[in-house]
Amino acid sequence: MSRAEAGTPHDPRGKERFNEDRATYTVKGAGAQPDLEAGVAAIRETVRTLKPKPGVYRMLDARGEVLYVGKARSLKARVANYTQVKALSNRLRRMVSQTRAMEIVVTNSEAEALLLEAQLIKRFRPPYNVLLRDDKSFPFILLRADHAFPRIQKHRGARRSKGNYYGPFASAGSVNTTINALQKLFLLRSCTDSFFARRDRPCLLYQIRRCSAPCVGRVDEAGYAELVQQAKDFLSGKSAAVQKKIETQMAEAAANLDFESAAMLRDRLRAATAIQGSQAINAQGVGDADVFALASKGGQMGIQAFFVRGGQNWGHRAFFPSHIEGESEEDVLADVLAQFYEEVPPPRTILLDRALPEQDLLAEALCEATGHRVDISVPQRGDRRRLLAQAQRNAVEALERRLAESGTKAKIMRELAEFLELPEPPDRIEVYDNSHIQGDKAVGAMIVAGPEGYRKGQYRKFNIRAAQTNDDFAMMREVMTRRFARALEEDPDRDSGNWPDLVLIDGGKGQMSSVKDALEELGIEDVNLIAIAKGPHHGREGREVFHFPDGREKTLPTNSPLLFYLQTLRDEVHRFAIGAHRAKRSRAITASPLDEIPGIGPGRKRALLLAFGTAGKVRAAALEDLKRTPGISEGVAQKIYDFYHPAG
């Protein structure tokens, strides 16, 4: 089943990828003022063109921004409901009053429409849809299969590499812990292929019994393949059989007086026991399952998820969906599940603490997406019910912590507004910093925070181009000019929610002056600015001085919670800027003059360097020598030679 969507004037990807039996079209309504009558008129004009077929609809405002994404078994009947204004909630009336156009995608089935709806919600994040707020993709363990001695590693993102993927894990920390334990247990290598190829003696991991050193022949291919198979069995839920086999091997080694091997096997057995003992929940007998429970309090909802694979707990995570006003708990949980599984492959079993309105439809859609049966159920007894009860307790506790933190954060935001003389507590705070070494590889960084915490999906990096000298003021000026020039171009009316209520600059009077001048040149004089510097005792925490645009300075008591909050913002942007700078330096270190030749990728670059040693020798090589290089065709050899020896 295809899950692609059609390219439209408002689709940033702009690619037509639907089957011929689908249709995509836009119908624009009359009027440009945000009132209910104009919205209803636009929807009625759309309804006239619709047929009772399944599909997905998008409601757009006057600027073409997506307000809402919905799916329907019958598009004509579902969209027509929005014209019955008296039956709509206040929230839906607000949405209809802003609607000026609709985009329709006809699908082959309602299950396909549900999957496409989740995909579009995740892409456009409309303000009237329930949103699963999660900035990072889930990590997996990847056991690669493209090498004679497969590598075990952490993996995020698209699963393009050949191998076995195990997950999802709730966090990078849980993946790292599991990989460390698996290295102790199965002695699998975690190094890169290039590091592996260069070794002529074992590395430290071999010395501390975390690797079997296949790079130098301490284990042959067959022996390593057996370790890999044991790891696969263990990660697939056959941990008892793996432990039993290690126990047998340990007993045999001891009987043969091979005490060194027996000791190594004993350590591996302890590692297996440690993995089993570290389970925060008892998931034995559950197999592969995801467990979800919802708690609701104070107008907020929290959803606790447990990830169980092969009877092992691979972590848990709490979600706090947004835009839930007027939505039932069951509908919120259904929307969160659809968006969650748009990215993460579902297991064969999903356990819930309540039945969903379209539970069978969701199971059908997930089955179509993955190619295997997915069972969604509400357990009533046994181990699964006990596991679900534990998830429910965790959901309640996570929501209570969230509410307590929200109350504290709201107080801090009020204090922040008072201290910085803002008209109201800020909803979007942007924090800026630069990182470089004597002006080299300079990078600007922007982080975004709000009452709910960091918004990591909106962090931005700036490769500083104009200021190549060691001039922090010029670098900050360039970053701010680029950031706000683009904001003026993309959102001059400031109604997208992406304009900051407060800009916090890591620096002193000089940085403040540079930022102020940059914004004034753009005609922006109403953005709240503040700079934070470490004060006269540079390096001593708690002595920060806050510089205002008018030249005034303020300080906070060293034990102030507000000061601590502002320090954490400053430290977070500092961390992000340094990370971006280090990544840029690493790329520069590994760069090669061969990268400039069109058509020369990593494989051909490796072949040239193996044959000639350096890029300089490749440049000086004769055409015939280039043609004789393994992996380089005559045409590519001619291209390389012509690049270094242009005609004329």
583-616 pLDDT, tens digit per residue, is 766 655 555 666 667 777 777 877 887 778 777 7
Neighbours of 592 (CB within 10 A): 14
Strands annotated E in 310-395: 312-319, 349-352, 375-377
Does pLDDT of 7 surpass 60? no
- What are the structure tokens assigned to 544, written together? 């920060």
Residue in 539, 77, 111 with CA at minimum distance from that of residue 363? 111
- What is the topology classification, in CATH, of domain 24-124? GIY-YIG endonuclease (3.40.1440)
Look at 597 and 385; give whichever has higher pLDDT: 385
CA–CA distances in Å: residue 345 to residues 57, 114, 116, 463, 542 = 25, 16, 15, 35, 47
| Distance between CA atoms of residues 503 and 105, nearest Å | 40
Q: How many residues does the chain have?
A: 648
Average pLDDT over residues 424-433: 92
Pairing of strands 502-506, 529-533: parallel
Phi, psi of 541 (to 5 degrees): -65, 145
pLDDT digits (tens, 9 = 90+) for 538-552: 445 557 899 999 888
pLDDT digits (tens, 9 = 90+) for 345-370: 899 999 999 999 899 999 999 999 88
pLDDT digits (tens, 9 = 90+) for 117-134: 999 998 898 999 999 876
Judge contact between 326 and 89, C-beta under 8 A: yes
Neighbours of 190 (CB within 10 A): 16
- What is the topology classification, in CATH, of domain 593-644? DNA polymerase; domain 1 (1.10.150)
Look at 197 and 19; give whichever has higher pLDDT: 197
Does pLDDT of 374 surpass 60? yes
Q: What is the pLDDT of residue 120?
A: 94
Residue in 455, 507, 500 with CA at minimum distance from that of residue 476? 507
User: Does CATH place domain 289-400 in 3.30.420.340?
Assistant: yes
Average pLDDT over residues 317-335: 91
Look at 242 and 182; give whichever has higher pLDDT: 182
Q: What is the pLDDT of residue 207?
A: 86
| Distance between CA atoms of residues 69 and 127, nearest Å | 10
Does pLDDT of 98 surpass 80? yes
pLDDT digits (tens, 9 = 90+) for 75-92: 999 999 999 988 888 889
Sequence-distant (≥ 6) Cβ neighbours of residue 641 within 8 angstroms: 621, 623, 626
Q: What is the pLDDT of residue 301?
A: 94
Judge contact between 511 and 529, C-beta under 8 A: no
- Write out the CATH class of domain 429-588: alpha beta
Sequence-distant (≥ 6) Cβ neighbours of residue 371 within 8 angstroms: none
Q: Give me the residue label for tokens 């940085």.
A: 511
Of the ranges 262-266, 334-338, 477-481, which is most confident? Answer: 334-338
Q: What is the pLDDT of residue 566?
A: 92
First-to-last C-alpha distance (Å) of the chain: 55
Question: Is 289-400's fold the same as 429-588's?
Answer: yes
pLDDT digits (tens, 9 = 90+) for 149-181: 999 999 887 788 889 998 888 877 778 878 888
Query: At 629, is the pLDDT very low, low, confident or very high (cuts 50, 70, 90)?
Result: confident
Average pLDDT across the chain, whole number: 83
| Distance between CA atoms of residues 59 and 101, nearest Å | 6
| Distance between CA atoms of residues 315 and 307, nearest Å | 6
Q: What is the pLDDT of residue 642?
A: 82
| Distance between CA atoms of residues 566 and 72, nearest Å | 46
Look at 352 and 13; give whichever has higher pLDDT: 352
Average pLDDT over residues 454-458: 87
Q: What are the CB-based long-range contacts (under 8 Å, 24+) for 463-467?
A: 463/584, 464/434, 464/436, 467/439, 467/442
Judge contact between 214 and 206, C-beta under 8 A: no
Domain extents in the chain: 24-124, 140-277, 289-400, 429-588, 593-644
| Distance between CA atoms of residues 79 and 71, nearest Å | 10
Does pLDDT of 4 surpass 50? no
Q: What is the pLDDT of residue 10?
A: 38
DSSP state of 536: S
